[in-house]
């Protein structure tokens, strides 16, 4: 088995409750656009963020590769970029298509790992006999949806250690200081307005317990998923750099979590492992 362990910061620009999930700007919830930014699109981006905000650098990458449990430090996929294709979203619609808070499906789901002259890509399908089905087609079928739903942990220690977000209120207080320093240095009027709006939301922590609670809940949340990639596998390795054959008739098991979402920066953290049947030649 070839195990690819990946992690890094992702971006998702989306409105949150009590705003409608398809709100384009964010009005009442803890997430909102600022001057100079395009409307929300809800897309989960593991690479190439749109209008990125201080302080995170978005990029999920393979950090380690193991073959039959043995680490391979010089493997061609170490450092490879991990992407989700097809403009995936967190789908819940303010509890309309999900029955419990914090339970949210990612759809569509097509994982790509590319680097070192190698590319692995495969989808998670709702039904392998009907590859065009979306969540909207199956959300009432509990047995179909259940394997793609997440488990939830609050105030997760693993997330805190991975992200460095150990003191939620302290992180937001330091963010305010950092943004104030950025505001003092800039002369761009649009950037000034953007920073001022972010600072207003951070300042409200002192007087709006509900807003602060939402912000810190997201920061400590961990949504864990475990399901296989079962679509048609795509393996591109023209120079044989993998040094073996990848299983194509078997599913590829995948475990991962999203967590540590920062409502000010519109970024969170992802960590996971893709296991691919593999036999060295």
Any domain includes 81: yes
User: Distance between CA atoms of 247 and 228, rounded to whole angstroms?
Assistant: 13
Any domain includes 193: no
Any domain includes 71: yes
pTM over 0.85: yes
59-76 pLDDT, tens per residue? Answer: 999 999 999 999 999 999
Range of the domain at 20: 2-154+223-280
Any domain includes 259: yes
Any domain includes 169: no
The fraction of the chain above a pLDDT of 90, given in percent, is 86
Q: Is pLDDT at 117 greater than 60 in this prediction? A: yes
Any domain includes 68: yes
Domain count across the chain: 1
For residue 149, give Cα distances in angstroms to 65, 72, 103, 146: 26, 32, 6, 5
Provide the b/e sequence for 70-87 (b: ≥16 CB within 10 Å).
eebeebbbbebbbbbeee
Q: Work out the average pLDDT over 186-200.
A: 97
User: Is residue 60 left, alpha or beta, with left meaning phi > 0 and alpha meaning psi from -120 to 50?
Assistant: beta
- Reported as a pLDDT band with limits 50, 70 and 90, residue 99 is low
């Amino acid at each position: 088995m070839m195990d690819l362990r990946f992690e890094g910061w992702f971006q998702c620009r989306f409105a949150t409750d009590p705003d409608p999930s398809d709100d384009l700007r964010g009005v009442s919830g803890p997430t909102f656009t600022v001057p100079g930014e395009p409307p929300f699109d809800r897309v989960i981006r593991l690479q190439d963020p749109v209008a990125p905000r201080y302080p995170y650098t978005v990029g999920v990458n393979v950090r380690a590769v193991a073959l039959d449990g043995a680490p391979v430090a010089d493997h061609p996929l170490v450092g490879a970029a991990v992407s989700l294709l097809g403009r995936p979203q967190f789908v819940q619609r303010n509890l309309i298509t999900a029955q419990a808070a914090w339970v949210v499906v990612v759809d569509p789901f097509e994982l790509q790992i590319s680097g070192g002259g190698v590319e692995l890509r495969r989808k998670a399908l709702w039904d392998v006999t009907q590859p065009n089905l979306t969540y909207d087609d199956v959300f009432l079928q509990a047995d179909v949806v259940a394997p793609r739903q997440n488990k939830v942990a609050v105030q997760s220690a693993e997330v805190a250690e991975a992200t460095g977000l150990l003191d939620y209120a302290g992180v937001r207080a330091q963010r305010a200081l950092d943004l104030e320093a950025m505001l003092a240095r800039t002369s761009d009027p649009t950037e000034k307005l953007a920073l001022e709006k972010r600072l207003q939301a951070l300042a409200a922590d002192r007087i709006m317990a509900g807003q602060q609670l939402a912000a810190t809940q997201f920061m400590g949340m961990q949504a864990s998923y475990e399901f296989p990639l079962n679509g048609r596998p795509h393996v591109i390795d023209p120079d044989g750099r993998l040094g073996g054959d990848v299983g194509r008739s078997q599913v590829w098991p995948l475990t991962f979590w999203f967590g540590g979402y920062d409502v000010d920066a519109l970024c969170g953290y992802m960590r996971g492992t893709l296991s691919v049947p593999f036999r060295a030649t």
